[in-house]
Amino acid sequence: MESNGNKPKMVSLFAGCGGLDLGFKQAGFNIIWANDFDTDAQAIHKLNLGDIDGRDIMTVSENDIPDCDILTAGFPCQPFSNAGKRKGVHDSRGMLYKECLRIIGKKMPKVFVFENVKGLLSTKYIDGRDLASVIKEDLSNINDIGYEVVYQLVNAADYGVPQNRQRVLFVGIRKDLNKVFRFPDKLSRDGLALKYILDIDESVPNQVHWPLSPQALEMIEYIPEGGSWKDVPYEHLAPRFKRIRDDMKRYHSPKFYRRFSREEIAGTITASAQPENCGIIHPTENRRFTIREVARIQTFPDDFIFNDDGLKNITAMYKVIGNAVPPRLANVIATEIMQQVFEEK
């Protein structure tokens, strides 16, 4: 192991509420500095993982950030998301990976890890090149040393997460270490269905949910376990859903209001927690999943706290959980990095 207190030192950019940080901490990394601009994410990170710098990363000098062995970054994904407007690099947030590049160029950690949505892989840079290729090239040549960079689209469900969540991961190892990261083999999906995670003892905190609108409640009464809005009788559809039903081909037959069954693995939990955007409806009860249920789907442990039960802003809790990297996915990747790079052979 490294000689600095036996644990490799980690800097976490765009840390969010700490899903990725928790996974890396569990794998033996020492988080010495974390940053996120979102105040809700900061509050949860502080509550569970400790201090976090809340400044806009664009205003943070490289000299304010400590030297580290590994740097992680889940830079904002909204510009690349299929669920959003897909502005990509034309959205100011879409260029925030350049801030990662600036800091890596100064610190030159042994390893870096980037996490982002699938849509990044189909995003073009301002000069027409694939953004993923630009990121790889930028890091491959930085400071005349560079990194051996690999990236891969992974499904969190292949690594122990009870959720079909596709994300792209970039892992770079500094070239003077003469190593290339190998992504871990896929794991069994046994035990990932919703029925295995929804039985929660009443003593576990954060079992509150955001009430659905009257319109949504009327619709979901007609959606069976495993169904969607397509099961709702036409006369009970909201007007905009009637327009979509009238022209399914035009709207690509979307699966709004998905109610996953207890035998299925959950779909992607999103920051909005809206039934139009993700399968947030409980399999058998006419409500959203609770904060704790979505936390479990994201593999946060039950002792990871999302404020107290008198939540002042429940939508913020759904947001930070939906934006997080599932800790179990982070832990699998972190464990591989620890074994491949930092542990003595």
Q: In one letter, which amino acid is 172?
A: G
Instruction: Compute CA 241 distance to the chain's CA centroid, rounded to the nearest angstrom.
Output: 29
What six digits make up the tokens of 152? 């891969």
Q: Contact, 170 vs 333, CB < 8 A?
A: no
What six digits make up the tokens of 277? 């955007």
Active site includes 100? no
SS3 238: coil
d(CA 289, CA 160): 20
Look up residue 326 and give its DSSP letter.
Answer: P
d(CA 59, CA 66): 16
What six digits make up the tokens of 171? 């892992």
Which positions ≥6 away from 204 have C-beta within 8 Å? 292, 302
Catalytic residue among 68, 77, 100, 278: 77
Q: Which residues pair with 167 in a beta bridge?
A: 117, 154
Q: 288, 311, 269, 344: which is closest to 44 by C-alpha? A: 311
- For the chain, give the number of residues: 345
Alpha helix stretches (DSSP H) within 49-196: 97-107, 131-140
Angle value at C-alpha 124, between 253 and 171, nearest 5 degrees? 100
d(CA 280, CA 266): 9
What six digits make up the tokens of 311? 């939540």
Look up residue 278 and give its DSSP letter.
Answer: S
d(CA 51, CA 66): 14
Task: Quickly tell me which residue has 């376990």 as its tokens.
Answer: 225
d(CA 233, CA 170): 45
Which residues carry out catalysis? 77
